[in-house]
Amino acid sequence: MNKGWLFLGTCALGISLAGCPGPSESPDAFVGEDTGGGGDGGRDAGRDAGRDAGRTPDTGVDAHVVVPDGGVDGGMDAGSDAGDDAFVPVDAFVPVDAFVPNDAFDPGCPTACDDGNPCNGLETCNATSHTCTPGTTLSCDDGMACTTDSCNPATGCQHAQGDTDTDGVLDCADCAPTNPNRYPGAPETCNAMDDDCDANIDEMAVAQFYADCDGDGWAATGANQVDSCSTPTDDTGCGTTTAEWTPRFPDAFVDYDCNDEVTTAHSHALPFSTTPMASTPDTSLDYDFDCDAVETREFPTAGACAVAGTGCTTLVGWMGTVPACGVAGTFITGCAAGTCAPITMARTQGCR
């Protein structure tokens, strides 16, 4: 079949090619298959010339498809010029890129599965179901009792510390977070505890003990001293069987023993005595049992009975002169009804 007719048939079927003639074009525009000689030699020469003219040198592929006209073998269009062949450009075909990509049929997961919240974990895409898989909830437990653990959606885990005993040291750095007297740097005291949080007990702690020769809990000024966190077993140096050690510091006239041989003589003593202290260092104060440097009399005033109208006023106290410490005298205890006569008794003045 003549190739020109095949071309025209294709155009007639409505197959749009870039070489088909329009309504005003003549099919003769595609002549030029044969040369004027009408032989195969002329046809081949014309065809080769047209093909070579449309070849792209760098790729080696024809830039156009040669479609000959309706010339018949044997030279029917012998007068046609070999260069009259029309070409259909390859660019008229639909490019590969025009195909719809596979992604259009596989929507996949949303653009971002992770919501940016570290507290509920990292959400990921399930490649099989094309859905978002929830993340693993973030555990913020640091295993420390001294912190309050929580999760912040913006920053993640938080471990807040407090100062329970308000001693100025955070609980995690405090060996005793509920005891305000124990913290790093606290003074070490003799209490069988680690006050300064250095894992040592009572180190560098010093307590003073003083020799109490009469064993009444008070020491005399200048008494022997021993430094220890526990009651020492050292000799007191008193030479008495009643001697003990006391932690009470002997502060003269305030808190001490003014006669360390008499158990009833020491600061804050309350009983009054009618007999003087034995072996007192100061005989002028041998009744100073409370060690305040003053002999305080138990009954320091005189008494009296006085008629007041039809009644009697009673003043309890000594009849006459108030006696000194340890001295006996007459003591008014009351007044008789009607006569208002003094009621008396013998009494010895007590002092302390």
pLDDT in tens, 175-210: 999 999 999 999 998 898 999 999 999 888 888 999
Distance CA 123, CA 115 (A): 7
Cβ atoms of residues 216 and 263 within 8 Å: yes
Instruction: Centre a 10 Å sphere on the Cβ of residue 55 and count the other Cβ atoms it contains.
Output: 12
Rounded alpha-carbon distances, angstroms, from residue 150 to 61, 83, 164: 71, 87, 19
pLDDT tens per residue across span 16-71: 444 444 444 443 433 334 444 444 444 444 444 444 444 444 444 343 444 444 44
- 342 pLDDT band, cuts 50/70/90, is very high
Q: In this predicted model, which residue has the larger pLDDT, 147 or 78?
A: 147
User: For the chain, what are the domain ranges?
Assistant: 3-97, 107-161, 304-348
Q: What is the pLDDT of residue 110?
A: 63
pLDDT tens per residue across span 161-176: 999 999 999 999 999 9
Mean pLDDT within 291-296: 95
Distance CA 306, CA 310 (A): 11
Q: What is the pLDDT of residue 107?
A: 57
- 291 pLDDT band, cuts 50/70/90, is very high
Find the radius of gyration of the CA atoms of the chain. 64
Rounded alpha-carbon distances, angstroms, from residue 275 to 198, 204, 285: 56, 47, 12
- Supply the mean pLDDT for the chain: 78
How many Cα atoms within 13 Å fall on the side-chain side of residue 26?
A: 4
